[in-house]
Chains A and B, each alone.
Chain A
Amino acid sequence: MEKNKLIKFQKFGKKNEVKTNSSKEVWSYTRVSSIDQKDNYSLLNQEQDIKKYAEENGYDIIHPFGGIYESAKEDFTRKEFQKLINAIQKSRRRPFAVIIYKMNRFSRSGGSGVGLAEYLVNELGVHLIEAISGMDTTTEKGQLEIYRKLLSAREENITRLEHTIPGMESFLKAGNWLGVAPMGYDHYGTRVHDFDKRSMQQNIRLNEVGKKLQLAWQWKSEGETDVEIIRRLKELGVEITSQRISAMWRNIFYCGLIANKLLKGNVIEGNHEAMVSKELFLKVQDIINNRKQGYTVVKQPEERPLTGHLFCSVCGNKLTSYEHKAKKLHYYKCQNCNGSCINTSTPLSRLKNKGAHEMFVDLLDSYQLDDKFLDLFKIQLEKMLGSVSKEKRNEDSLVKKQLTELKNKKENLEERFAFKEIEYELYNRLLTKINTQICEIGPKDDISENKISNLKSQLNKSVEFTQNISKHWVSASIGNKKRIQKVLFPDGLVIDTKNRQYLTSKVNSLFALKRSISDNIEDKEKGLTTNKSDKSSTVAGTRIELVTSGL
């Protein structure tokens, strides 16, 4: 009776349950530590051994992971490894095990690697199998052996570092650079990937991009914003992200120095050529630091581009500008002459009272580049646009060279395969790699044609600009509006606010009055007033005094 009563509670009894997975489906993971090893068959060997082990033991490899180079010093910075762990966690149909060629391929992080292995085995029920020894975590003894191997992988790493670190420290102290040289430099040395740049001694030289980045440093030291610098570099053919340019400002490598954790906080002179002087580097640091502490950018009044460009016809003083905040209207005003003030734009209620901007547009509209200078202007532009594309042409020839090399490699590979010098697997693998590289470069045959048509289009647009300056002034940014003003009227404009007219003192000598207007003015005895009743439609309310330059 007592026994029968306890039977009802049997279901609450605790058993030592181990999650078991009877499936024969397994996943695999391969890796090498550096890009140099990626191409030396190491990955292929790992894959082949894993495959062989699986076949001999009746396992079916469903998902192969890895196949790339990633350091196992840390586990969660490895993208492919992380992908494997995430896939196991999320998978509804988990594999029986993950096969690894050797445990040091799984992890070299020591304790962390052991923790991860324990999590996979005990929490997720996925075992680890070492292909080379056949050891696995299906038994407790096997588990302990695998953990021991993971710890010894860490130990191997530490021992290796004990040997290599002093060498790396000496290398650094001799003024050499560890790792890939920053943007703007060509790196020559013993371990670079590009065979053309292999040399017995390290030599880091400033390249063409570097010379343009020198300009960027100069602009930065003058307070230019990163956005504007990036834009200007792009015009010169250099693409750089805001993050990268920001990192560049902080990297002392650019002023000829070297900093590295292995130097324990010390900074030393590098053997490489400095891109900028130390003084300029420090100046840029001051700018960056000041900006963080509340450096304010003086905003140019977008609504009043003629500020600083207008002069009072009565006293000759520069007009200032302001906004009437209640009315939301903008004005130019002479602080010296009482009442000498003009609205920037024509008010809707009083269309007869043209604003300074509309008057300025009319004034611009009356000028165009003199025909006799048109050919000179085109030649100058061609020279200028050609100089930018010179850099791009060099890039194009480099790309073409790369393409030819890749195509030759492909042919060689096909030949070797045809003569059975290499296995199909290796052939296929290398062929995919070459094809990917070719695709990344892309077809570049139309480069020159595009460039020529682009050059023509730019030339046409530029000529059109010189014929319709007013249209471009209206749509230009504040900076470009000011540039146009300065080029057309280098000494500024005298304005008669009372009679609402510009008295131009000096106009760029390359420009001439448009035909209809010059005829009109000649009729009125050269440059005299146009009154409101019989004014030309294009020079409304404007008196033009032609300036004779030295020409």
Chain B
Amino acid sequence: MYDEDKDLYKEVYLENKLTKNEIRQFEQFDYLTEVEIEKISDLIFDLALLAKKIITE
């Protein structure tokens, strides 16, 4: 069965994930810690991946 944790599709796009610096360009996130920024980066990436799947199916 399909296992999303092993989704290599995700790996293909991983190189396009937003970097911490790119997120810090926005004033409202500049004060956040490294861990918090990293979490936002993960969440945004997963959401974008999901949106792409939904709109292309």
Q: Which residues of A contact B (CB under 8 A)?
A: 215, 218-219, 222-224, 228, 232, 235-236, 297-298, 300, 369, 372-373, 375-377, 379-381, 383-387, 458, 461-462, 465-466, 472, 476-477, 479-480, 483-484, 486-487, 508-510, 549-551
Contact = CB atoms under 8 A, between A and B. Distances in A.
Contact of B18 (A297, A379, A386, A472): A379
Contacts of B47: 369, 377, 380, 466, 487, 508, 510
Size bracket of the B interface: 35 or more
The 6 closest A-B pairs by CB, nearest first: A462-B51, A383-B16, A380-B48, A461-B55, A387-B16, A215-B8
A476 B9 CA distance: 19
16 contacts: A224-B2, A228-B2, A375-B26, A376-B23, A377-B44, A380-B16, A385-B52, A386-B16, A461-B51, A466-B51, A480-B54, A480-B57, A484-B50, A508-B47, A509-B43, A549-B39
Contacts of A222: 3, 6
A236 B13 CA distance: 10
Interface string B37-53: 00110011111111111
B36 A550 contact: yes
Contact of B55 (A228, A458, A550): A458
A551 B54 contact: no
Contact of A462 (B18, B39, B48, B57): B48
A168 to B, nearest CB: 38
Grouping DSSP codes into helix (H, G, I), strand (E, B) and loop, the A interface class, with mixed when no group exceeds half, is helix
A297 B1 CA distance: 7
A461 B56 CA distance: 10
A492 to B, nearest CB: 15
B55 A387 contact: no
B1 to A, nearest CB: 6
B26 A384 contact: no
Contacts of B3: 222
Contact of A550 (B9, B18, B35): B35
A81 to B, nearest CB: 46
A373 B44 contact: yes
A454 B11 CA distance: 24
Given A215-B12, A376-B40, A484-B50, 6 more contacts: A236-B9, A386-B16, A465-B51, A477-B57, A487-B50, A510-B47
Interface of B: 1-4, 6, 8-9, 11-13, 15-18, 22-23, 26, 28, 32, 35-36, 39-40, 43-57
A550 B2 CA distance: 31
A376 B54 contact: no
Contacts of A381: 48, 51-52
Contact of A372 (B16, B28, B39, B48): B28
Contacts, number: 108
Contacts of A477: 57
Nearest to A378: B48
Contacts of B56: 235, 458
Contacts of B43: 508-510
A379 B51 contact: no
Nearest to A372: B28
Given A510-B44, A550-B36, A380 B1 contact: no
Nearest to A476: B54
B9 to A, nearest CB: 6
A18 B26 CA distance: 95
B44 A383 contact: no
Given A376-B40, A472-B54, A484-B50, A551 B32 contact: yes
Nearest to B19: A383
Contacts of A551: 32, 36, 39-40
A232 B48 CA distance: 16
A551 B1 CA distance: 35
Nearest to B23: A376
Given A215-B12, A550-B35, A380 B45 contact: yes
A507 B44 CA distance: 14
A551 B31 CA distance: 10
A356 B57 CA distance: 25
A22 to B, nearest CB: 68
Contacts of A487: 46-47, 50
B44 A376 contact: yes
Nearest to A385: B52
A87 B6 CA distance: 57
Nearest to A472: B54
Contacts of A379: 18, 22
